[in-house]
Structure 1
C-alpha cells in the first residue's frame, strides 16, 4: 500500500543515558512523541538486551500503529540509535505526522550527526507532494518546513552537522544542525535587513567586522557601500566557508575574493579579545544562542564588543522570533540595554525562518530608527546602491515600527539608557 517510509541513523547521541539502556524510558518517550504527532498506537513490544563485556545492553522495540509502525534500536556502547517509521497514506495523507514524529525523536536523542533516508512506497497514485520534507522547530510545539528535491552535501564538521539541499522554490539551502540558515531564493530578506539599516545610518562606514556569516551573504551586502575599505569576516567552521565557496555563489557573489575582504577561520570571541582594530559596524551573523555560538551572546562578550567599536560604531544582531521565542528575545534585548546606551530593535518576516524575526542595532551614538526617508534616499543614491530586493527608505521606517506584542517585550530597551563603563 502506498505510504511514506522514513529511516534515520543517529550518531554520537547526547541524550539522557536511560533512553539508550532502559526499555521503560525508551517506550515512554516513543509513546508520547507518537501520540503528540497525531498517530495512533495499537500495540507495542520492547526488549532490553543484557550487558556484554562490561558494556550496558541496548534496547530494541516497536510501536504498532493504526497507520503502520515505529521501530527503534539503541547501541549505548556507540551512542547510536536507528529509527524506522512507516505510515500508510491510503485513507488520508499521514506524511506530515510521520515527519513530525521523526523530528521529535531525533531532537530527543540529540545526535551530533544524522543520516536520513526517505522512500515513497506503493504502486498507487503518485503522492500529492514530492521531495524530502524537513521540519524545524520554532519552539517545543511549533514546527514548519520545506520539501527538497535532492541533497548536495551532508557531513559532520568539527562543530556541527552541515547539510546543503536544493529545491525548486528555495534553490540551494544551507542547514546547520538541522536549522535553516540561508537559501538562494530568500537570502535577501535576512542579509539586507541585517546590513543596510545600520550601514545607511552611518555616514561613511569604513571598517566592518562580521562574526559568523560564512555563507558570504552579509559580506556581499556590506561591499555595496563604497566607503568600506576593510571587511574582516571571522567564521568558526572552515567547512561552512568551503561549502559556500563551492556551492553558494548566488549568495556571496564573489565577496570572499574582494581585495577589501579578509576571511579568518577562528573563534569570534577570541578574535574580539585580541584585536586592536576599531570598527564602524560589527555584524553578528550567528547561529542561535543554544549552539556553538552561545558564548557570543553573553554580557561579557557584548562588553568586549563595545570596546572594538569606533566612535559612532554600531553592533547588529538577530534575536530570534518574538512570537515563538519571546523569552529569548526579551533577555537578549536586556543584555544589549545593559551594555549600550542606545538599542533599536526591529523586525521583519523571513520566509526561510518561518516567522517574524527580531533584530537589533546597538550603539552609543547613532539612532537608525530616527533616519528620515529623504536622507536615506540621498545616501542610497550617493552610494550608488540600487540592486536591493527588500530594503528601501520606506521599509527602513517600517521595520523599526514594532508590532505591539514585540514592543511590549522590549519596552525597557527602546530609549537611551546609560551603559555601565
Structure 2
C-alpha cells in the first residue's frame, strides 16, 4: 500500500508485559515477504520507521546511534580491520558506517531477505546513503547461519545485526552459530552482536554471554541508549581473543582522528565508557 493516509498508531508488543506505540502520519509500504511482514511509515519525531512483524527495527531519526556503536567500536578497537562481515543489516545502515572506514578493503553483507534490501533502497535511502553501490561491498542473499557455517572466514570483524531472537533471527542467537562465527574470524578478530535491552530481555544477554565466555578470552558487552528501543540502554555482545578492549584512550583518539569520521554519537570517550556496566546488567553476566 503506497501513500496510504493513516491516522493511527503502530503498537509494538515484543515483550509480555510492556508495549510501545508510535503514531503513524503516513504508511508508505506494507507488504508480506516470504519471511516476514515489512512496513515503513512516517512519524513526526523519528521520520521514516521500519518495522518487521510490527517490531521496530530502525528509524531515520535515531539509527545513527545503533549503527555507529556496532561498527566504530570494534573497527577502531581492532586498529587494522580490512575485512568485515555483516550478518543481517538489510537496510544498509550498518554497511554505511563500516564503509566510512577507508582502511576497510572488503565488506561481505549477508541478508536473508532480498525484499528488505530492495524496499530499503526505495523507501529508506537515508539509511544506506549509497552503501549498496560501493565497490567494496559484496551483498550475499543467504541465511546468515548457513553462510557462517560454510565460509572460510578470515574476517577481522563480524557484526551480527540481527532481529530479535524470534522468527528468522532466532538461529543467530545459538551457541552453534557463535562457534562458527569465531572460526570465521581472523587472528585477533572481534565478534559483536545485537543483544536487546537487558532490562526487558535479560535472558537473551545472559545466554549470549554464556556462549561467548566459553569461546573467547575476552567476553563482555557494552551499552548504548537508542530511543526507539524502549526499556533502557541496549546491549551489544563483545567477543575476542585479543586485548582490543584495553586499547588506551590516547591510541583510540589517534585512530579516530586519522579515520576522518564525523559521527553523531560515537566518540573515543563514549567508546571506553560504554563498557562500564550498571549493576543490574553486570548481574546478568554469567
Q: Same fold (TM over 0.5)?
A: yes
- Whether the 8 Å contact between 1:350 and 1:357 is mirrored in structure 2 is yes
Q: How big is the shift at 1:401?
A: 0.9
Q: Does 1:262 align with 2:138?
A: yes
- Whether the 8 Å contact between 2:47 and 2:61 is mirrored in structure 1 is yes
Partner of 1:164: 40
CA RMSD of aligned residues (A): 1.5
1:389 corresponds, among 264, 279, 284, to 264
Task: Mark the runs of 5 or more structure 1 residues left unpaired by the alignment.
Answer: 1-116, 120-130, 413-421
Secondary structure of the 1:333 match is helix
Q: Does 1:250 align with 2:130?
A: no
Report Cα offsets for 1:205-230 as digits up to 9, x if no partner: 10000010001111111111111110
Partner of 1:232: 108
Higher relative contact order structure (alpha carbons within 8 Å, sequence separation ≥ 6) = 2
2:210 corresponds, among 312, 334, 341, to 334
Secondary structure of the 1:316 match is strand
Structure with bigger gyration radius: 1
Report Cα offsets for 1:173-212 as digits up to 9, x if no partner: 1100111001111101110111111111012110000010
Report Cα offsets for 1:331-364 as digits up to 9, x if no partner: 1211211222211311121111113211111111
Of 344-353 and 208-217, the range deviating more from structure 2:
344-353
Q: Does 1:399 align with 2:277?
A: no
Report Cα offsets for 1:9-28 as digits up to 9, x if no partner: xxxxxxxxxxxxxxxxxxxx
Partner of 1:372: 248
Structure 1 Cα separation of the partners of residues 76 and 174 of structure 2: 27
Partner of 1:136: 12
1:32-71 mapped onto 2 (5 Å cutoff):
none
1:60-209 mapped onto 2 (5 Å cutoff):
131-209=7-85
Secondary structure of the 2:243 match is coil
Q: How big is the shift at 1:243?
A: 0.8
Q: Does 1:278 align with 2:154?
A: yes
TM-score, length-normalised on structure 1?
0.65
Structure 1 Cα separation of the partners of residues 31 and 126 of structure 2: 22
Structure 2 Cα separation of the partners of residues 378 and 203 of structure 1: 10
Report Cα offsets for 1:356-414 as digits up to 9, x if no partner: 2111111111332x2332211100111211x200000111122111111101111x4xx
Report Cα offsets for 1:54-103 as digits up to 9, x if no partner: xxxxxxxxxxxxxxxxxxxxxxxxxxxxxxxxxxxxxxxxxxxxxxxxxx
Structure 2 Cα separation of the partners of residues 136 and 312 of structure 1: 39
Structure 1 Cα separation of the partners of residues 26 and 272 of structure 2: 39
Secondary structure of the 1:211 match is strand
TM-score, length-normalised on structure 2?
0.95
Structure 2 Cα separation of the partners of residues 231 and 348 of structure 1: 24
2:192 corresponds, among 316, 324, 332, to 316
Secondary structure of the 1:292 match is helix
2:89 corresponds, among 204, 213, 219, to 213
Q: How big is the shift at 1:118?
A: 9.7
Q: How big is the shift at 1:138?
A: 4.8
